[in-house]
Structure 1
Amino acid sequence: MSKLVLTGIGDVDGNIRLERNPDLSLGSGDALVTMEAAAINPADLLFANGWYGVYPQVPSSIGFEGVGRVAAVGPDADQTLAGKRVIILPTGEQGIWADQAVVPTRNLVVVPEGADARQLAMLAVNPATAYVLLNRFVDLRPGDWLGQNIANSSVGQLVVALAKRAGVKTLNVVRREDAARQVRELGGDVVLVDGEDLGDRIASALGGSQLRVVFDGAADATSGALATALEADGTVVGYSSATGESPKLPLADLIYRELTLRGFWITNWARSTPREEIERVYGELAGLVANGELAAAVEATYALADYQAAFDHARKSGRAGKVLFTF
């Protein structure tokens, strides 16, 4: 058995070691989970650098989301979890880049047996983010328009898929034509490549309609261009920042049309949402994965011992899918 351990704050390349035969002592409310697959997310790399909303206390286990099977439970834990297949909630309380991981049972959600492990390994963060974006901030109805940038990202692809099921139309902005083709194939209603006159092209594509909401994962000029097409009192939700900056909204639109800028972080949602709601949302998403209606692209999988190659691949620009550890 082995796991990855973060030994210092900074660049992940110089601060990760593979630890053999780690201590896996269970607390009374813990479970021992034998991992099947775990995703490598930008959040994991930000965590290693000390730039995330959860700050590591080194040495620290690492890895925010994945799927596995409960091998054992502590004496005060729900004993019926033994043997169940589970995903791990991304609360930052445990690290799961490991053959086996100790996880508080409150951070486990049971998922279907027959679903693809790779898809379940990516369920806790991006599909849940897309789901909450679509359902929490604006009451979207069939025929409404939403706008989003980095639409070829995992969250963006899932927003397209879930919006299409709900009859909501998507106006999607990407940076490259190959990414535009990908989003069109997924069912994006309008897909535009960033560039000159983006705001005018957005308005032309909408044909007099307005966006009900904008999902911003880029925090660049595209969020401002999308905001110009928002209805008055409309909402921009920032859930990520590809630039490391704050969202950039046109001052006149922000003030004179009274736009609202909101933030969203899936870790806060996983920590604060009632258990019944968490199980309902993940149950619905897991069901869509199990019947093949919901899937995110996977570009490569790696063994845990090949972590350096996995990190290099995960940071590669122009990727078409997620990079995972499989066990």
Structure 2
Amino acid sequence: MNKIILTAVGGNTDETVALVQEPTPTPGADEVLVAVEAAPVNNADLLFAAGWFGVYPQVPNAMGAEGVGRVIAVGAGVSSSLVGERVLVLPTFVQGTWADQVVVPVSTVVPVTGKADPLQLAMLPVNPATAYSLLHDYVDLRAGDWVGIDMANSAVGQYVIALAKKAGVNVLAVVRREETVPLVRELGATLVVVDGEDLGDRVAQALDGKQLRLLLEGVGGTEPLEQLARSVEAGGTVVAFSAATGQSPALPLADLIYRGVSLRSFFILNWIRTTPRAELERIYAELAELVEQNVINATVEATYPLAKHQEALAHAARTGRTGKILFVPAGTTR
């Protein structure tokens, strides 16, 4: 069995990430053995390897946060009815999904429809779940309300736009590059604005008197948050879900204190830990059905076998990339 491990924290992944062969693992009590069908390369995986993520690696550390596959064996205490079922593997950053097969606690898998595209299902545990929580857990949004999001062409942004469109919620999308505007418009964003000079004025002009009930912030630092916060309604909410700049988000004092705009945050591992199991199963089942119906999806730029992991990681690290990179079994790449 092949799997990818992290051998050292930091440095170039050419030197710190390796493909190793191990005997096929056997599930213990309350565990399942999953044959992996697809596993994405997320920015969080690259940050994890660099030691810059919310979980610090314990090398040698199996790589790969999320994925999808079929249960092929179960340990004591697990119903044999799970064998043959397609399941999502939820992220723990302990059991890696960049592998032919992986043993995980049964508590970290969720059965899903076997009919949808496995590439799309493999990406459900992190980004779509993040988008779902951002739209449901902070503000009681109704059809006709306005939500703003920067990094709108990111995977999370794409899912936010699709889910908001389905709910009749308007989206003001902010992107960094002009060439991504058509993609975001096609996804269903109500308004699209390119980041840059006079961003706050251009956003206010585009909204034409309307205000944002919720702003989803993924850049970090003071820009563009300082500009976008001007269009958040008094008493509105900003939720930080990422920090592309590596800086903490900062709300202007006038918005924070005088206008009562609140700044909150989201972290997928905390959400998985604190959400009741029944609710997790309901949400992931709903998201899987939306994948099957082609309501939500993310662009896939390339797939790679595990043996080409260095090419895959280099591709995932490219600037200007427009789609996701995934590992799939050898012979099934596309």
Kindly provide the amino acid, as one letter, of the partner of residue 64 in structure 1. A
Q: CA deviation at 1:195?
A: 1.1
Q: Counterpart of 2:272 in 1: which secondary structure?
A: helix
Kindly provide the amino acid, as one letter, of the partner of residue 304 in structure 2. Y
Kindly provide the amino acid, as one letter, of the partner of residue 66 in structure 1. G
Q: CA deviation at 1:149?
A: 0.2
Aligned match of 1:49: 50
CA RMSD, 1 decimal: 1.0
Q: How does 1:7-156 map to 2 (within 5 A)?
A: 7-11=7-11, 12-22=13-23, 24-156=25-157
Kindly provide the amino acid, as one letter, of the partner of residue 219 in structure 2. A
Q: Give 2:227's match in structure 1, choosing from 215, 225, 235.
A: 225
Q: How does 1:162-173 map to 2 (within 5 A)?
A: 162-173=163-174
Q: How does 1:1-12 map to 2 (within 5 A)?
A: 1-11=1-11, 12=13
Cα separation, 2, equivalents of 1:269 and 1:91: 12
Cα separation, 2, equivalents of 1:171 and 1:195: 15
Cα separation, 1, equivalents of 2:79 and 2:242: 35
Please say if residues 24 and 101 of structure 2, whose CA atoms lie closer than 8 Å, have aligned partners that are also in contact. no
| Correspondence 1:197 to 2:208 | no
Cα separation, 2, equivalents of 1:289 and 1:7: 35
Cα separation, 1, equivalents of 2:53 and 2:91: 13
Please say if residues 141 and 168 of structure 1, whose CA atoms lie closer than 8 Å, have aligned partners that are also in contact. yes
Please say if residues 304 and 327 of structure 2, whose CA atoms lie closer than 8 Å, have aligned partners that are also in contact. yes
Please say if residues 154 and 296 of structure 1, whose CA atoms lie closer than 8 Å, have aligned partners that are also in contact. yes
Cα separation, 1, equivalents of 2:94 and 2:87: 16
Aligned match of 2:332: none
Runs of 4+ aligned residues of structure 1 deviating over 2 Å after TM superposition are none
Please say if residues 62 and 94 of structure 2, whose CA atoms lie closer than 8 Å, have aligned partners that are also in contact. no
Q: Give 2:295's match in structure 1, choosing from 293, 296, 303.
A: 293
Aligned match of 1:255: 257
Deviates more, 1:223-232 or 1:137-146: 223-232
| Correspondence 1:234 to 2:209 | no
Aligned match of 2:208: 207
Q: CA deviation at 1:68?
A: 0.3
Please say if residues 90 and 108 of structure 2, whose CA atoms lie closer than 8 Å, have aligned partners that are also in contact. yes
Aligned match of 2:284: 282
| Correspondence 1:177 to 2:178 | yes
- TM-score under structure 1 length normalisation: 0.98
Deviates more, 1:221-230 or 1:104-113: 221-230
The share of aligned pairs that are identical, in percent, is: 57
Cα separation, 1, equivalents of 2:264 and 2:80: 40
Structure 2, gaps ≥5 residues long: 330-334
Q: Deviations over 1:76-123 (max 9, x none)?
A: 223221111001111333111000001110000001111001000101
Equivalent residues, number: 327
Structure 1, gaps ≥5 residues long: none
Aligned match of 2:266: 264
Kindly provide the amino acid, as one letter, of the partner of residue 291 in structure 2. V
Q: CA deviation at 1:23?
A: 5.5
Q: Deviations over 1:255-304 (max 9, x none)?
A: 21121110100111111210000000000000000121111110010010
Deviates more, 1:25-34 or 1:296-305: 25-34
Aligned match of 1:246: 248
Cα separation, 2, equivalents of 1:280 and 1:22: 35
Kindly provide the amino acid, as one letter, of the partner of residue 233 in structure 2. E
Cα separation, 2, equivalents of 1:303 and 1:22: 19
Kindly provide the amino acid, as one letter, of the partner of residue 6 in structure 1. L
